[in-house]
Every structure is written in structure tokens, then in C-alpha cells.
């Protein structure tokens, strides 16, 4: 083999030592190439990696038996109970519009001294709030503010002060926000002619007021 390679090596001008080293290097490279392409690589499958994991018996717990859902449910229940305890005070105990004062009203979001005074003033004009919706009629109370406070207040209709339609004077009727001067004049004229008003239908049937206006004022009237 040396005689075969000698012409080639001598052509490059190698010394004797360099020639031997070149032969050895060529043999090593040949062997590497043979092993590289004749012996297939062994791929490591995922199943093989399981052998490297710690056995379940040594861990003392079966990973598949851990119930995560139960832990999540407990956390959710705890969060729900905490949120209930953190509700604003005005939601826990509603403010009753017909017996509260300005201090009570100012505890509501968006209600300051001016609006609280207007709410009470309008309550006095009405004779009491028949429903929470009547807060929308308070001058200067915006719809956005109403939405903030409507769930924190209540209106006890049994506390509404009613006007006796058969004995009330002109000034008593005229001061109510739901009756104007023209309404009052017609009511008194009808009462003078008929002697008595039996019910709200007497006013609507005789065109003294519309059904809509009658339904608004009805909670504040009595016919004794």
C-alpha cells in the first residue's frame, strides 16, 4: 500500500515521517466514515425517557390521582365568600327614602349635600316616594347617578301621605308636583257640582285629567 501511495505522497514533497502520519490519518477517516454510514442511529423515544423518571412507588403518590378540580372549587368558593363580605354597606342595608335624612343620603355614591337636600325637598312636595323610580324626577340628578344608587335605596309606599280629595283646599292640591293649577280648578269645580268624588274614574270619565296623569297622582289621593 505504501508503494501505491508513494508516488502521490512524494509528489507533495512529504518527508518520511509526514508520509506515515498521512497514512494513519487516512485510515482513521476511512474507519469513521464506515461506522457513520453502516451503523444506524438509535433514536430515543419518549417511552425510553420514562425509565429516567423517579418511580411512582418511590414518590409516594400517583400523579394521575391528583384531583386539581377539587382544589380549584375550594378556591372559587373562598373567593365568593370573600366577595360577599366586601359588598358596600349601602347594599347590605338599603336606605329608605321616606324616613332617611341628608346624612344617610350622602353616603350614597354621587350624592352630595346639594342633591341630598333636593331629594328631601322633593319628598316633602310629593308627600313621600311611592317608588324608587321617582328619584329620576329630582332636579339635577343624572341618569348615571340614579343607576349608581337605585339598588341601594328603597321606597316604603305605606309611608306616603295622602290628600283627601273631597276636603283638600286649593293650596293643598296645588302644591303637589303632579297637579297644576288648571287641574286643581277643574277638580274643585267638579266637587262643587257633584258634592263628592267617589274615585279616580270620576276624574278620567269626565275628562278632568288623562289616564296617565290620574295614574301618577292616584297613590297620593284618598276619597274619604
Which pLDDT score is estimated for 76? 47
Residue pair 166/223 in contact by the 8 Å Cβ criterion: yes
- Helix, strand, or coil (residue 38): helix
Residue 221's DSSP bridge partners are 163
Which pLDDT score is estimated for 103? 95
Question: Could you say which DSSP state residue 1 is in?
Answer: -
Q: How far is CA 55 from the centre of its chain?
A: 47
Which pLDDT score is estimated for 50? 46
Q: Which residues contact 22 (CB under 8 A, 6 or more apart)?
A: 9, 14
Nearest-angstrom CA–CA distance, 187 and 208: 7
Nearest-angstrom CA–CA distance, 61 and 81: 32
Instruction: Give one DSSP letter per residue of 157-199, joined into a string.
Output: GGGPPPEETTT--HHHHHTSTT--HHHHHHHHHHHHHHS---S
Nearest-angstrom CA–CA distance, 115 and 122: 10
Closest by Cα among 35, 10, 32 to 22: 10
pLDDT tens per residue across all 224 residues of the chain: 555 555 555 545 666 676 677 778 778 888 877 766 666 555 444 444 444 444 544 444 454 544 545 444 544 455 545 444 544 444 458 999 999 999 999 999 999 999 999 999 999 999 999 999 999 999 999 999 999 999 999 999 999 999 999 999 999 999 999 999 999 999 999 999 999 999 999 999 999 999 999 999 999 999 99
pTM for this entry: 0.58
Nearest-angstrom CA–CA distance, 175 and 125: 7
Nearest-angstrom CA–CA distance, 80 and 70: 15
Element (H, E) at 124: helix 113-126
Which pLDDT score is estimated for 61? 46
Helix, strand, coil percentages, rounded to 5, for the chain: 65, 5, 35
Amino acid at each position: 500500500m505504501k508503494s501505491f501511495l508513494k508516488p502521490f505522497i512524494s509528489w507533495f514533497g512529504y518527508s518520511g515521517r509526514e508520509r506515515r502520519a498521512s497514512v494513519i490519518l487516512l485510515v482513521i477517516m476511512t474507519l469513521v466514515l464506515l461506522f457513520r454510514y453502516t451503523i444506524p442511529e438509535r433514536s430515543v423515544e419518549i417511552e425510553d425517557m420514562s425509565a429516567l423518571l423517579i418511580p411512582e412507588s418511590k414518590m409516594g403518590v400517583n400523579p394521575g390521582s391528583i384531583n386539581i378540580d377539587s382544589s380549584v372549587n375550594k378556591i372559587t368558593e373562598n373567593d365568593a365568600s370573600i366577595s360577599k363580605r366586601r359588598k358596600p354597606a349601602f347594599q347590605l342595608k338599603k336606605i329608605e327614602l321616606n324616613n332617611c335624612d341628608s346624612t344617610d343620603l350622602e353616603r350614597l355614591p354621587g350624592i352630595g349635600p346639594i342633591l341630598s337636600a333636593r331629594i328631601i325637598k322633593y319628598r316633602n312636595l310629593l308627600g313621600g316616594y311611592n317608588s324608587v323610580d321617582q328619584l329620576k324626577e329630582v332636579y339635577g340628578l343624572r341618569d348615571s347617578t340614579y343607576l349608581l344608587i337605585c339598588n341601594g335605596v328603597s321606597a316604603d309606599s305605606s309611608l306616603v301621605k295622602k290628600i283627601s280629595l273631597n276636603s283638600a283646599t286649593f293650596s293643598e292640591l296645588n302644591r303637589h308636583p303632579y297637579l297644576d293649577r288648571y287641574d286643581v280648578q277643574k277638580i274643585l269645580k267638579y266637587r262643587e257640582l257633584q258634592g263628592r268624588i267617589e274615585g279616580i274614574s270620576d276624574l278620567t270619565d269626565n275628562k278632568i285629567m288623562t289616564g296617565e296623569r290620574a295614574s301618577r297622582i292616584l297613590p297620593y289621593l284618598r276619597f274619604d
